[in-house]
Amino acid sequence: MGNTKSSALSKELLEELKSNTKYSEAELCTWYQSFLKECPGGKISKEQFEGIYASFFPDANPTAYARHVFRSFDTNADGTLDFKEYIVALHLTSGGKTLQKLEWAFALYDVDGNGTISKNEIQEIVRSIFNMIPVDDQKNLPEDENTPEKRAEKIWEFFGKKENDKISEGEFIQGVMDNKDILRLIQYDEPQKIKDKLKEKRQ
């Protein structure tokens, strides 16, 4: 066999990804090949990741959001995403279980990584989400959430928090599970568009 690891997934990683995501062995192997083609070093830098996002949203400015998404997936905080982090990211944003998605959403909003979310952090993420919504679409948003400030305020009020309070992970997950409207407010929900683009790139 020799050392074929450079172009083949290790058995351990393959088994781990198969049990933790909904992807088949064939899909994972195909994705690994295209991952290595795009990133011969086996890692995606923050800049590459932002570039991938930018190609999905030509009419918007996704840089700030992409940076937050990258941070939330860079689980070992080394400034790059390896194949495992990348696949887990894809899985979570496109088809993960609700609880996993909400744990990820919490990590996304917990900008400083201290285990709680402040009102400022909510405003920061909501602002980055608004950068991705084309201006024409923003005009069609409901009156009470058509600016980042209004939307952040609506989320904050839903959790019944005072100005300087914090939201814990448990509160966040429970709150969103109890109210589908909040789920809509906290996310930029276009994973299908991204998945379709990824499929196009692979063909």
Would 8 be classed as within a structural domain? no
Domain containing 129: what range? Answer: 98-202
User: Ranked by mean pLDDT, which of 31-45, 46-60, 117-131, 178-192 comes out on top?
Assistant: 117-131
Domain count, the chain: 2
Same domain, 47 and 133: no
Choosing from 96, 126, 147, the residue where a domain stops is 96
Q: Give Cβ neighbours of residue 26 (< 8 Å, ≥ 6 apart).
A: none
**3 within domain boundaries:** no
58 plus 147 within the same structural domain? no
Tell me the average pLDDT of the chain: 84
Residue 110 buriedness (CB in 10 A; 0-12 / 13-18 / 19+): buried
Q: Is the pLDDT of residue 39 over 90?
A: no
pLDDT digits (tens, 9 = 90+) for 142-178: 899 999 999 999 999 999 999 999 999 999 999 998 8
Q: Tell me, yes or no, whether 83 lies in a domain.
A: yes
Confidence of residue 83 (pLDDT cuts 50, 70, 90): very high
196 lies in some domain: yes
Instruction: Specify the CATH number for the domain of residue 43.
Output: 1.10.238.10
| pLDDT given at position 188 | 65
Give the model's confidence band at 112: pLDDT under 50 very low, under 70 low, under 90 confident, else very high. very high
Same domain, 83 and 114: no
Q: Label residue 200 by pLDDT band (50, 70, 90).
A: low
Instruction: Say how many Å lie between the first and final Cα of the chain, rounded.
Output: 29
pLDDT higher than threshold 80 for residue 194:
no
Indicate whether 68 pLDDT > 80. yes
Q: Do 124 and 189 fall within a single domain?
A: yes
Query: Of 22-26, 56-60, 110-114, which one has max mean pLDDT?
Result: 110-114
Instruction: State the Cα–Cα distance between residues 74 and 103, nearest whole angstrom.
Output: 14
Tell me whether strands 43-45 and 80-82 are parallel, antiparallel or unpaired: antiparallel
Judgement on whether residues 104 and 85 belong to the same structural domain of the protein: no
pLDDT value for 96: 66
Q: Domain check: are 122 and 186 in the same one?
A: yes
Cα 122 to Cα 154: distance, rounded to the nearest angstrom? 11
Given 71, 96, 121, which residue is the final one in a domain? 96
Q: Which of 46, 80, 96 is the last residue of a domain?
A: 96
Q: Is residue 185 part of a domain?
A: yes
